[in-house]
Amino acid sequence: MRRPALYSSSNRPAKGAGDEGAQAPDETSAEAIPPTPPSRFPRAARLAGYLARHQLYLLWSVVGLLALLLAISFSSPLRHPARKLTQEDINAAVLKTLETTVLPSPGTKAYDTIIPSVVRITGLGKDKDGKEDTEQRSVGTGVVIVDKGIILTNLHVVQNAQIIKVTFADGLESTASITGVQPENDLAVLQAHKIPDDLIAATMRSTADLAPGDQVMAVGYPFGIGPSASQGVISGLKRNFRSPEGKQMMSNLIQFDAAANPGNSGGPLVTMDGEVVGIVTAIFNPNQQRTFVGIGFAVPIENAASAAGMPPF
């Protein structure tokens, strides 16, 4: 096919061919490119054109084939078999994780688990006019055992109070009423009149498999300070304890050595899983002083649960 003429970018106006005095075009005037003369060997020319047109397709086909063969060779299981994961590999990975990851201590785990269920209990009186007296008559601890606001504590914490106030872990305060007592085990059951929306009840665990040496934690408000945690071990089981005044004898108690002081009364004694195994009720001091010397007692949770009308484990 004949190629179209190409022209320069000259801006001179062209003169008509019939104009008199027309001058010959200068060096900047465009000229038509003459057509290519026909080949003297038409069949050879056609073959050369055919090969030129298909050379590019042939080249890409060869490249694609080579790429496919290369991919197959790398993915072949016979050429590069995958190494099986051994027990030594697993042990090494676990050891590396333990060496590089800081895990919370068992005590931290126990505290974080039980603390949403621990409450501060304050006993108040009334003045002569029957109005609330802001002076505290007792301070103790309680633990939520049902998420409807049912709380276990010691009877001696609330028995002389005319108004009982509880403070939940999130800071919410509410009055409460005594709904049940078990004097022989110094236990009282409270019902809070107002509770948090997301109140969490503690998990209770049977004491059947407890043994001396098991780690435990006492959580509460010693001397009103708290919440506080102290950690120790089970020192003994089925202990007897007589109150300092000699008015009451308690039996089948858990002896522990986690520090407890006035204000811890009614608080939970928990395992390292944060599960309640007892309610802290007394401390022993040969000098009749209200300070801890290393011997504390807790009522087993089986007795405490029965005070709330809950079935035993």
CA dist 11 → 7, 8, 247 (Å): 11, 9, 126
Ramachandran category for residue 95: left, alpha or beta (phi over 0 → left; psi -120 to 50 → alpha): alpha
Catalytic residue, from 174, 228, 235, 265: name it: 265
Q: 137, 132, 123, 168: which is closest to 150 by C-alpha? A: 168
Active site residue 186: yes
Catalytic residue, from 117, 186, 228, 257: name it: 186
Catalytic residue, from 156, 174, 228, 257: name it: 156
Contact 158, 121 (CB under 8 A): yes
Q: 228, 221, 201: which is closest to 157 by C-alpha? A: 221
Active site residue 156: yes
Contact 138, 152 (CB under 8 A): no
Active site residue 19: no
Strands, E, within 243-285: which ranges? 249-256, 268-270, 276-283
Contact 252, 303 (CB under 8 A): yes
Max intra-chain CA distance, the chain: 147
- What lies within 8 Å, CB to CB, of 153 at 6+ separation is 121, 140, 141, 142, 143, 187, 188, 190, 265, 266, 279
Q: Cis omega (within 30 of 0) on the bond before 227?
A: yes
Catalytic residues: 156, 186, 265
